[in-house]
Structure formats: C-alpha cells, structure tokens
A = this chain, B = another copy of it.
Amino acid sequence: MTAARPLSPTARSTVRRGATRARTDRAELHAVLDAGLVGHLGIVLDGAPVVLPTGYGRSGDTLYLHGSTGAATLRAAAAGGPVCFTVTHVDGVVYARSAFHHSMNYRCAVVHGTARLVDDPAERLLGLEALTEHLAPGSWTATRQPDRKELAATALLALDLTEASVKVRTGPPGDDEADLGLPVWAGVLPVRTVVGEPEPCPLLPAGTPVPDRVLSRRV
C-alpha cells in the first residue's frame, strides 16, 4: 500500500511558504497527479532552467514521461541530471477585499528527482501503456500498439515519486480583520476544466460511432 506511506520530504520538498497548505498524504499526491493532463518538466540545460509541458502516466510510485529520442530536454533528463516535475490544477479565483489578499485556489504536486532512462522492453511497454491510458483511458487496447520503429523513436523516462510535495489552497479569501467592513464583494469564482463534444477526424468513414472511452472521458 504505497498510498499509506506518507510523503517524506527532504529540505527542497518541504513546503515553506504557506506551510498550512501542505499535504503529506501519499494518496493526495497520487490524486493530484492522476487528475492532470500535462505536467511541467524542469531540467537544467547549459546552467539555465528549461520548463516544458509534457504528458505523463503513473504506475504505483513511478511516474513515466516520454518524448522523442531527439528532444534536448529528454536527453538532458535521461543523462541523469536533476529534474523537477510539477502538476498544477487551478480551482478558483479568490476575490478579496484587498488587492494583496487576492489569490487562487489550487492543487499542486511537485516531484524532485533524477529520471531513469527505461530500456527494459517490458517496462517500456508498461510505461507507454500508463502514458496512453492516463491521457486517453481505454486507448491502449483499442488502438494499434507501438511498432518497432515507433518504439525506437521514443525515449521513456521513469521518475520515482519518493521526493515530492503537495500544496492545496481551498476556501474563501483570507482578508485582514480590519478590511471585513469594506463594502467590497469577496469570495471565490470556481474554475474547472471540462470536455466538449467529440470532433471526429475528417478522414473517418461517415457514421463511425464515438466509443464509450471517448464519450465517458472527463478531465
């Protein structure tokens, strides 16, 4: 039961600002990661940070990332440099009585570590399945699986979820006591991500039904 193992933060994965917003339950880390579509991968390239959005998948306490074998960021991460991977959900705009206390409600997971280039063929398939199923549940078995050429063009990285933190803000604004009498509306405007109507590929034969895996997809 990895979910029962609490997050054991190191110095850099200890939430310092707004520590009351830190969560230490591994199940919350998994929940924040599982609810996301993209994360932001940070690597150091020539001494400077590079932050790029990327899809991902999770299997237990392993996060899988992939990309072209030619991508500089993937190559840098695969070479064993430190990485940071962050997934953020914005849940609301927090309107306060003062400009200073305006804020956002959010859930955020930050993972620090060193990525491992996966070369075991079985784990590569498992990681790619996790990635595909994370993005599009049901698609791994419903579609053509990767062939030899596609596998050769894909770099798969594994990132252990050992060193991670979760930060969550919920609820109304934290206005100063002295401002509570101001005649200013305060509260939260909820923000959420939704899906629209499926748009069939123009090359699809007319009348091809939209499968349940697409119709039931929520984000």
Contact = CB atoms under 8 A, between A and B. Distances in A.
Contact of A49 (B84, B92, B198): B84
Contacts of A182: 143-144
Interface residues on A, range: 35 or more
A146 interface: yes
A168 B182 CA distance: 44
State how many copies of this chain the complex holds: 2
A121 interface: no
Given A16-B72, A200-B185, A82 B48 contact: yes
Contact of A12 (B48, B97, B135, B199): B48
A52 B217 contact: no
A186 to B, nearest CB: 4
A89 to B, nearest CB: 9
